[in-house]
Amino acid sequence: MAPTLHLIYASPPVRAVLMTAKAIGLTLKENEINLFGGDHMKPEFLKLNPQHTVPTLVDDDGFAIWDSHAIITYLVSKYAKNDALYPQDVKKRAVVDQRLHFESGTVFVRLLKITRPILFEGKTTIDPKDRDNILEAYGFLDVFLNGKQWVAGDFISVADYSLVSSISSLNVLIPIDAQKYPNVVAWLKRIEAHY
């Protein structure tokens, strides 16, 4: 039996999980949650995930885990044929983990700051300070990619899947300037061709 992924397709973290599953050849049972209808607040969902967030993964043995970063590292650790996407080498893994934390603590937080007012408050403009924060994140990522093919070095990892899900969403809202962030633009093209 396949693990079940509770999701909404528009979510960048969900896309990171779906990309990771595809990369390791794992078929997930997908259960779309109606967040606007309150499915995530129903007792049966709260029992799985008291934070009532998506994505939430329930493995075939009933083990439940949420947060895309925890899910993707779990899936690779349990189901991948090798450790290529999440290396056992402690130094390589530390860099992957740092990039995952960069995505969750910097990039995704800044994405939410822009998208929540658009989605839930009808806001139609982006605050200049929020725009500057996104440009700063693009700048950090551009430095990480300097001289490298992928965000953690010379190998594609779960950090690439995690970051591309948020960066590609941000690129729609605040386009990435190829002159200022050439490494990010080149990386996006590589990951699109790879995926």
β partners of residue 4: 29, 58
Backbone angles phi, psi at 124, to 5 degrees: -115, -5
Q: Which of 11, 68, 157, 162 is catalytic?
A: 11
Whether 68 sits among the annotated catalytic residues: the reply is: no
What is the residue type of 43? P
Spatial separation of the C-alpha atoms in residues 151 and 77, rounded to whole Å: 19
Q: Are the C-beta atoms of 2 and 28 separated by less than 8 Å?
A: yes
E strands along the chain, which residues? 4-7, 29-32, 56-58, 64-66
- Rounded to 5°, the CA angle 125-131-136 comes to 170
Q: Tokens 């300037």 correspond to what residue? A: 177
The set of residues, in sequence order, having a beta carbon less than 8 Å from that of 80 and lying 6+ positions away, is: 24, 86
Active site residues: 11
